[in-house]
Structure 1
Amino acid sequence: MSEISDLEQALLIAAADADSRAYEPVKTSESAEYGLEKETTESEINLEPQPKVKPKKRSLEPNDTSESLSKIRKGYADVVASHYNSLEEKGIIERSKSRIVYLRNFHNWIKSMLINEYLAKVKENKKQHNAPVRVHDMCCGKGGDLLKWRKGGITHLICSDIASISLEQCKARYYHMKGRSARERGGGNIYSIEYICADCTRARLREKYSDPSMKIDLVSCQFAFHYSFESLPQAECMLRNAAECLQPGGYFIGTITDAYDLIARARRSESDTYGNNIYKVSLDFDIDKLIFSGHHYSAPNVTSN
């Protein structure tokens, strides 16, 4: 059996084992083995101790027209953009000091495997040798996957994001990578690129392409698709942007938060806030009155630890 097959089998076994546990809390011994803290109460993460209570009873039914809900929905895109624009750009040395550096590296490895697998499928489907490969990196952020696209040998990349400052940092990374490639022996050509600063959940991105008739081979959206579920129209817009320009036989790949796990942890904690000394999640909705979209939660510092 190949190395990849062994890996896939191991992941399947791990997934089946996790599923059989039905989201049971991680045992202290298991946490210690992997260097993680057990889930704690608010007092253990240096917050004001709070009695355990049922999650807030706040209805988010479609006919909820409360002033507070209206303000949240109206300003949510600005909140997201401001959050990512405010994140400090850190170099490799600083990022290596993070408490979750190994978890970050693991996530990055998974993302690399995902990208490599589907770029290989795209190229296999190309009838013409060395045919151009075009990719759309939706919600690209600061361009954390630029090097992956270079190693994947793509021809053209579209980078779209709601945060203008993040997009500027993405541009700087690309030009730095391009300059370094030119100086390297046998560096060769690097893919062309275009940038779109827009809310992918509200704007039709095709109209902003340099060539609106362009066909895309692969669309990638990493750790951002959940933002579109602020409302059903936004989710539909996001899906349209992901699929509208895909080639027949093209692929969409993405990573999204596990809503089932978020809710399961809230039920176990019997509170609308839970976490440990690494993360904290606060829910702004009633877990007993779930609808398709519009449920907000916050996870401060998750993107900066």
Structure 2
Amino acid sequence: MDRPSYVRDRPNAEADNADLYHKPSSNSATVAKHYNEIRELGVEGRLYTKITGLRLFNNWVKSCLIRQYTKRGNKVLDLGCGKGGDLRKWSMSNISEYVGMDIADVSVGQAQRRYKEMNNNRFEARFYAQDCYGEPLEKTLRPVDYKADVVSTQFCLHYAFESEAKARQMMANVSTHMEPGAYFMCTIPNANWLEKKRRVLGDSFGNSVYRVEFAPGKATRFGTAYSFSLDEAVQDCTEYLVHMPSFVQLAGEYGLELKDCIGFHHYYTQQMQRDDATGLFWRMRVIDEERPEISKDEWEAIGIYLVVVFRKMQ
């Protein structure tokens, strides 16, 4: 599949000011420490890294998802909100209420500050620091019976697959706090893609921007760990395969039905048939005159991820 390349006379605008990787949980204290310590690059800093194209592309995917599944006045629960990099995306969808939760307390503090610094806030927001997957949300969430129209977990849900017990706690947290008909949308690593690479290349593979290393052994439904690194974003962090048949089955047990499951490369092709998504792609300057294409290595790394969407049954 062809990588995006620059075409002249496209609309231009300032890139979306958002973080890419804001992940909760796993071996809770270790992961919280890891993401709390990732240095803040700032808006300009994020535009001049080896993975700038990847960052902007993935932010575009999240923006498309938010626009596609969010309506004016919706209430949002963001599990793994990190530094609040998606707050402006939610604001553009005219939501009424936002709850952000993340295991990394330093990141949650930064998200709170980012919200306070936003001009003309269109929604109420509150933030909580806790393990969104290993513990019931009711530990900190107020009101305890809060229900959202949209639940979002971006680039973080794979930590819940450390064990079946943790995955079930995650699904209980999600389902309990969804209105009937609400959407649960997430972006996760594609376990099939990773396993295919592993079969061909062995337990360790990657390129100039990412690296994956598996311990020897057969993949299982829960707890198959691998070490993941991504330039300027993640360094040797332990992640877990999300076995999609198990995920779909588990979601069904908690009253959710699968609506979409599509790789990022194919999601790009699909969305670029839509005028609004195409316009957003150029306004966010995923590619422009300074960066006329997404590099081959970035494009390969983009292929790691899936868009997955569930809907809570009535």
Structure-1 separation of matches of 2:122 and 2:67: 17
SS in 2 for 1:300: strand
SS in 1 for 2:70: helix
Q: 1:117 aligns with which of 43, 48, 68?
A: 68
Query: What is the deviation of 1:173?
Result: 1.0
Identity, % of aligned positions: 35
Distance 1:285 1:166, change over 3 A: farther
Larger Rg: 1
Task: Look up the match of 1:260.
Answer: 192
Task: Look up the match of 2:205.
Answer: 274
SS in 2 for 1:261: helix
The TM-score normalised by the length of structure 1 is: 0.66
Task: Look up the match of 1:87.
Answer: 38
Distance 1:138 1:193, change over 3 A: same
| Contact preservation (8 Å) 2:50, 2:231 | no
Determine whether 1:170 maps to 2:111: yes
Q: RMSD of the TM alignment (CA)? A: 2.3
Task: Look up the match of 1:151.
Answer: 92
Q: Amino acid of the residue matched to residue 292 of structure 1? A: R
Structure-1 separation of matches of 2:149 and 2:232: 29
Distance 1:259 1:303, change over 3 A: farther
Query: What is the deviation of 1:254?
Result: 0.6
Q: 2:159 aligns with which of 223, 227, 230?
A: 227
Distance 1:115 1:77, change over 3 A: same
List structure 1 segments (4+ residues) > 4 angstroms apart after TM superposition: none
Q: 2:225 aligns with which of 282, 288, 296?
A: 296
Greater strand content: 2
> Per-residue CA shift, 1:23-73, capped at 9, x if unaligned?
xxxxxxx78x97xxxxxxxxxxxxxxxxxxxxxxxxxxxxxxxxxxxxxxx
Structure-1 separation of matches of 2:139 and 2:233: 33
1:49-128 to 2 correspondence within 5 Å? 76-120=27-71, 123=72
| Contact preservation (8 Å) 2:203, 2:215 | yes
> Per-residue CA shift, 1:270-295, capped at 9, x if unaligned?
x3211111111111241xx2221111
Greater helix content: 1
Give ranges in structure 1 of 5+ residues lacking alignment. 1-13, 15-29, 35-73, 124-131, 182-186
The alignment of Structure 1 onto Structure 2 pairs a total of residues equal to 216
| Contact preservation (8 Å) 1:163, 1:197 | yes
| Contact preservation (8 Å) 1:95, 1:101 | yes
Q: Amino acid of the residue matched to residue 152 of structure 2? A: S
Query: What is the deviation of 1:265?
Result: 0.7
Query: What is the deviation of 1:302?
Result: 4.5
Q: Amino acid of the residue matched to residue 95 of structure 1? A: R
Distance 1:280 1:135, change over 3 A: same
Task: Look up the match of 1:242.
Answer: 174
| Contact preservation (8 Å) 1:206, 1:245 | no
